[in-house]
């Protein structure tokens, strides 16, 4: 494994981790923009824009984009979150340059009015579909409640209203500002030739214009409000809990990940043994999400209406016991094994490496080997986890529920 980097005059970072033993390569653009960078007026524009990039450029149509990917056999995808929009592909080494050229081309889309108007319907349908998915809906609503007026509470998809009112002019303005070379990273992992990739990226991307792209970074402690909505068609109660976490820049992020596994991993966690194994809840999981300058623990619980009080009591007991007695040595050991296994296995593939490579650069402007992360996770102590519990008080949460009348 060899790490390489280069920064163009316009601010575009090109980074790569070369692994000549790999059978494939992965390539992607990490754009540092998402729903938290939107105003209420244009909420949803980042995600909408991600769709629009596949509609083609001044030179090639949507059909040709599709055919061009198809020819290479590449598996490609894109995703938009609160903080980042990413575009990536995994491909055999012999097609890497072709796919890289294609992504570079797509990063300067035509954003045609007719495509914009057509795609608006697709986005509206996606919003309607997710609203009909209570597990998703409850998390989005809880996020908004938790972050209150902080922009991290913005919904990724936007609302029917914000998308309905959005103009292509507003999207173009947002695009110019946020898809600036100094607000994105080009990353490549696996089996590739650094000089070849660099010359292709540099040859086209150095014409892109630098812009001012900033982000509001004030910390948010969370509202700790409680709310519930009723939906007559539901048969189960969906509950989301959110509490304050640490940021993607905070060295305690590994400690926070371990804590979330101990409390709410799919199997073998406190939630699992107290709620799922006892058949009180169908699902009860906790995740930790490190973000730019902030972070949050997010739990999702699904149970029958009659069990809601009991489930919430038990959750209260779990958090109380954690803050009073802390975690056990054995819990920490199991959690480390789970996280280390998942980490090593994910990073075995170039496409897995690409994600860590890109996000470490986006958040830390730092190259970290898998071994760096393994050491950091191995080094976490029981005392550090217990001290984090005292500092963050995960039992003091924002709560949103959706359930039957």
Binding residues (CB under 8 A) for its own copies: these are: 21-24, 66-67, 70-75, 90-92, 95, 267-268, 333-334, 336-342, 344-345, 347-351, 370
Q: Residue 10 or 124: which CB sits closer to its own copies?
A: 124
CB of 89 to its own copies, least distance (A): 10
CB of 75 to its own copies, least distance (A): 7
CB of 287 to its own copies, least distance (A): 17
Q: Are the CB atoms for 262 and 380 separated by under 8 Å? A: no
Dihedral sign computed on CA atoms, order 161, 163, 168, 174 = positive
Q: Residue 170 or 334: which CB sits closer to its own copies?
A: 334
Q: Residue 91 or 296: which CB sits closer to its own copies?
A: 91
Q: Residue 13: beta bridge partners?
A: 7, 185
CB of 83 to its own copies, least distance (A): 28
Q: Residue 238 or 336: which CB sits closer to its own copies?
A: 336
Q: Residue 46 or 72: which CB sits closer to its own copies?
A: 72
What is the residue-wise DSSP string for 22-52? -S-EEEEEEE---GGGS-GGGTTHHHHHHHH
Q: Report the distance separating Cα 52 and Cα 85, nearest Å.
A: 12
CB of 99 to its own copies, least distance (A): 10
CB of 206 to its own copies, least distance (A): 30
191-194 LR contacts (CB < 8 Å, sep 24+): 191/18, 191/19, 191/20, 191/21, 191/22, 191/23, 191/24, 191/25, 191/93, 191/350, 192/16, 192/18, 192/25, 192/27, 192/93, 192/96, 194/4, 194/16, 194/18
Q: Report the distance separating Cα 384 and Cα 246, nearest Å.
A: 13
Residue whose C-alpha is closest to residue 377's, from 194, 255, 205, 244: 255
Residue whose C-alpha is closest to residue 310's, from 287, 279, 285: 279
Q: Report the distance separating Cα 60 and Cα 82, nearest Å.
A: 30
Q: Residue 71 or 390: which CB sits closer to its own copies?
A: 71
Q: Residue 226 or 278: which CB sits closer to its own copies?
A: 278
CB of 324 to its own copies, least distance (A): 24
Please, is 195 exposed, middle or buried when counting C-beta atoms within 10 Å of its C-beta (0-12, 13-18, 19+)?
A: exposed
């Amino acid at each position: 494994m060899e790490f390489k980097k280069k920064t163009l005059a316009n601010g575009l970072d090109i980074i790569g981790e070369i692994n000549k033993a790999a059978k494939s390569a992965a390539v992607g653009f990490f754009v540092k923009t998402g729903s938290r960078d939107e105003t209420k007026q244009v909420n949803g524009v980042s995600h909408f824009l991600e769709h629009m990039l596949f509609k083609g450029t001044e030179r090639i149509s949507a059909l040709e984009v599709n055919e061009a990917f198809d020819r290479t056999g590449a598996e490609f995808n894109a995703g938009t979150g609160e903080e980042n929009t990413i575009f990536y592909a995994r491909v055999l080494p012999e097609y890497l340059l072709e796919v890289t050229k294609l992504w570079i081309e797509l990063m300067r889309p035509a954003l045609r009015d007719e495509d914009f108007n057509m795609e608006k319907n697709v986005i509206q349908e996606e919003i309607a579909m997710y609203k009909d998915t209570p597990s998703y809906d409850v998390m989005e609503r809880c996020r908004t409640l938790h972050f209150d007026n902080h922009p991290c509470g913005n919904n990724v998809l936007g609302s029917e209203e914000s998308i309905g009112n959005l103009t292509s002019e507003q999207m173009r303005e947002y695009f110019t500002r946020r898809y600036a070379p100094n607000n994105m990273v080009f990353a490549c992992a696996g089996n590739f030739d650094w000089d070849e990739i660099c010359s292709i990226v540099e040859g086209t991307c150095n014409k892109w214009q630098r812009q001012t792209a900033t982000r509001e970074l004030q910390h948010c402690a969370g509202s700790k409000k409680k709310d519930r909505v009723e939906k007559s068609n539901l048969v189960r109660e969906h509950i989301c809990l959110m509490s304050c976490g640490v940021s993607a820049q905070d060295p305690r992020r590994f400690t926070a990940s371990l804590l979330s596994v101990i409390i709410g991993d799919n199997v073998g966690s406190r939630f699992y043994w107290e709620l799922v194994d006892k058949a009180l809840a169908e699902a009860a999981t906790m995740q930790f999400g490190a973000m730019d300058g902030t972070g949050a623990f997010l739990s999702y619980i699904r149970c029958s209406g009659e069990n809601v009080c009991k489930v919430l009591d038990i959750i209260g007991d779990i958090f109380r016991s954690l803050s009073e007695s802390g975690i056990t040595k054995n819990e920490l050991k199991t959690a480390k094994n789970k996280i280390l296994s998942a980490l090593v296995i994910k990073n075995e593939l170039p496409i897995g490496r690409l994600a860590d490579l890109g996000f470490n650069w986006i958040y830390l402007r730092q190259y970290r080997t898998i071994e760096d992360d393994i050491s950091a996770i191995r080094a976490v102590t029981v005392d550090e986890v217990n001290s984090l519990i005292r500092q963050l008080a995960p039992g003091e949460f924002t709560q949103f529920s959706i359930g039957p009348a």
